[in-house]
Amino acid sequence: MTYDYKKSQQLFERAQKSIPGGVNSPVRAFKSVGGTPVFMERAKGAYMYDADGNKYIDYINSWGPMILGHAYEPVVKAITEKVAGSTSLGAPTELEIEMAELIKSMAPNVDMVRMVSSGTEACMSAIRLARGYTGRNKFIKFEGCYHGHADAFLVKAGSGLATFNIQTVPGVTAGVSMDTLTAPYNDLHAVEELVKENNGAIAAIIIEPVAGNMGCILPAPGFLEGLRAICDREKIVLIFDEVMTGFRLAAGGAQERLKVNADLVTYGKVIGGGMPVGAFGGKQEIMQHIAPLGNVYQAGTLSGNPIAMIAGYTMLKTLKDDPSIYKDLDEKTAYLHKGLDEVLKTANTPYVINKLGSMISVHFSEKPVIDFSSAASANNTLFNQFFHVMLKEGVYLPPSAYETWFVSTALSKEDIDKTVEISGRFFK
Ligand code: KE4
């Protein structure tokens, strides 16, 4: 069965007249995989439906938020009931307290939390806070990690920058990027070298504890623990960017799953149940420097917005109250992993499958994919071909080898069997 994309093609032509690249976020543009981005109309559970009426099994899940599937009833109901009371108040509300208390009850090491409206805002605020708290300017990020599009992060970043091979971003000044230090993921020695060269000048180390923006890449045993030890020794703030892993790998995210404590944690995606929500939180001693308590200024018109809060609260409460959800996510992802492994090992192409919890990615590489350079040296042209075969057969994978796939509880074993069966046909 191959799909007809006529309506998507028409919409894409029209969109490009008014929106740069025809999309409101570059990764959606199919630029690296080629072809016309599919314009979606609606989604329910594990399925998305495009403007031509084609149906897809969804492994993007809005890049993470749709962990319980699309249009999850309790979230839809909560939003519908709340919206009549105004879509924004711009004043403190009890619901924001309840949201903060719920996050604190789920996330380890979070004494205080500030709501924002995106993962980018969460990460840029966390870096500003770490700088304000330590009085230091520099920070370390890892090649291939993506922390949103704030200037200081657009140095050797992952996600769309890796996809489009954007090494330096016009508009990001040398003055900003000079304080951004980078090291390869999983390379503790490189971090030690940077700390030595910049003695006493590093405010923070920010990391995706499980990387999801160069495909899914796991921390090597001891890597995160090593970063923790360096930060303790050097009084550097360790920031876990859990925009992807937060509330996904476990109720307590990567801190709980991997048993390593951060000083500050950033959240996004799942935390908003699909509405624009981000957050950053951590130890009281650090968070108390945030305005209006302290002088590290951070603000947002729609921060703590009632519709976003009720969506996020309903989502997080569901995840907290039913721990079997994480078992289900892990089992479904393991089932997908096993199926893909069975078909790929009969193919005559090298591959690795990286997986943790409900994050998974396939890399056509003969060597382990442990950092950006190994992800970049995989056969990503083959991935692009694989992507289109899957798409035409109704399986919607992230349109880039530099993205992780996300599994939702809404996926059935039949959906996974179909995914594996089509993969098998491609590799026969
Ligand atoms: P947002 O500003 O897009 O909400 O979050 C930025 C961000 C921060 N940290 C991590 C670990 C992230 O993965 C992201 C955003 N992820 C991308 C997908 N790789 C969002 C998709 C997009 O850019 O459209």
Ligand 1 centre distance from Cα of residue 424 (Å): 31
Residue nearest to atom 8 of ligand 1 (CA): 147
Looking up tokens 């029209």 gives: 14
Give the tens place of pLDDT for each residue, 300-348: 999 999 999 999 999 999 999 999 999 999 999 999 999 999 999 998 8
62 and 78 together in one domain: no
Asked if the structure places residue 127 within a domain, the reply is yes
Give residue 120 CA to ligand 1 midpoint distance, Å. Answer: 7
Q: How far apart are CA 277 and CA 172, in angstroms?
A: 25
What ligand 1 atom has the least distance to the C-alpha of 269? 4
Q: Is 177 inside any structural domain?
A: yes
236 and 201 both lie in a single domain? yes
At 155, phi and psi to the nearest 5? -125, 115
CATH code for the domain in which residue 387 is found: 3.90.1150.10
Backbone angles phi, psi at 210, to 5 degrees: -125, 120
Q: Does residue 399 sit within a domain?
A: yes
Distance (angstroms) between ligand 1 centre and the Cα of 147 equals 7
Q: Are residues 190 and 312 in the same domain?
A: yes
Active centre residues (catalytic): 146, 241, 269
Q: Give the helix ranges, DSSP H, for 135-264.
A: 160-163, 174-177, 188-197, 223-234, 253-258
Q: What angle do CA 392, 408, 398 make, to 5 degrees?
A: 40
Q: Are residues 291 and 344 in the same domain?
A: no
Kindly give the number of the ligand 1 atom that is closest to the alpha carbon of 211.
Answer: 11
Residues 120 and 154 placed together within one structural domain of the fold: yes
What distance in angstroms lies between residue 227's CA and the mean position of ligand 1's atoms? Answer: 23
- pLDDT at res. 231: 98
Q: Does ligand 1 come within 6 angstroms of the Cβ of 27?
A: yes
Residue after which a domain boundary falls, among 265, 289, 321: 321
Kindly state if the Cβ of 148 falls inside 6 Å of ligand 1.
Answer: yes
Q: Is 64 in the pocket of ligand 1 (CB under 6 A)?
A: no
CATH code for the domain of 288: 3.40.640.10
> How far is 6 from 151, CA to CA, in rounded Å?
38
Please return the burial class of 53, using the count of CB atoms within 10 Å of its CB with bins 0-12, 13-18 and 19+.
exposed
The angle subtended at Cα 364 by Cα 359 and Cα 365, nearest 5°, is: 105
User: What is the CA(308)–ligand 1 centre distance, in A?
Assistant: 17
Q: Which ligand 1 atom is at minimum distance from the Cα of 213? A: 19
- Indicate if 354 and 278 belong to the same structural domain: no
114 and 158, same domain (yes or no): yes
On whether residue 367 sits in a domain, the answer given is yes
**Of 321, 348, 371, which residue constitutes the final position of a domain?**
321
In a domain, 122, yes or no: yes
Centre of ligand 1 to C-alpha 213, Å, is 8
Per-residue pLDDT of 399-416, as tens digits, reads 999 999 999 999 999 999
Q: How far is the CA of 244 from the centre of ligand 1 (A)?
A: 8
Bond preceding residue 276 cis, omega within 30 of 0: no
Q: Are residues 39 and 81 in the same domain?
A: no
Distance, CA of 120 to CA of 243 (rounded, Å): 9
C-alpha 266 – ligand 1 centre gap (Å) = 11
The CB of 147 under 6 Å from ligand 1? The reply is: yes
CA nearest neighbour of 372 among 140, 143, 32: 143
Q: Does the C-beta of 50 come closer than 6 Å to ligand 1?
A: no
Please name the amino acid found at residue 175.
G
Nearest CA to ligand 1 atom 20: 63
- Domain membership of residue 355 (yes or no) is yes
60 lines ligand 1 (CB under 6 A): no
Q: What is the pLDDT of residue 3?
A: 67
Domain that holds residue 104: 73-321
Cβ 119 under 6 angstroms from ligand 1: yes
What mean pLDDT do residues 9-37 have?
A: 96
- Tens digit of each residue's pLDDT (9 = 90 or more) over 205-245: 999 999 999 999 999 999 999 999 999 999 999 999 999 99
> Is the CB–ligand 1 distance for residue 242 below 6 Å?
no
User: Per the structure, how many domains does the chain have?
Assistant: 2
Q: Is 268 in the pocket of ligand 1 (CB under 6 A)?
A: yes
pLDDT of the residue at 87: 95
Residue of 61, 207, 239, 243 with the most ligand 1 atoms within 8 Å of its CB, for mutation? 243
Tell me how far apart the terminal alpha carbons of the chain are, to the nearest angstrom: 17
Same domain, 31 and 92: no
Q: For the chain, give the mean pLDDT.
A: 96
At which of 321, 349, 383 does a domain end? 321
pLDDT digits (tens, 9 = 90+) for 74-113: 999 999 999 999 999 999 999 999 999 999 999 999 999 9
Same domain, 64 and 176: no
What is the pLDDT confidence band of residue 1, given thresholds at 50, 70 and 90? very low
- Which of 31, 146, 207 to mutate for ligand 1's pocket (most ligand atoms within 8 Å of CB)? 146
39-43, 160-164, 202-206, 368-372 — which is least confidently predicted? Answer: 160-164
Q: Which atom of ligand 1 is nearest to the CA of 120?
A: 2
In a domain, 21, yes or no: yes
370 and 241 in one domain?
A: no
pTM of the model: 0.97
Whether 1 is covered by a domain: the verdict is no
Q: Is 241 in the pocket of ligand 1 (CB under 6 A)?
A: yes
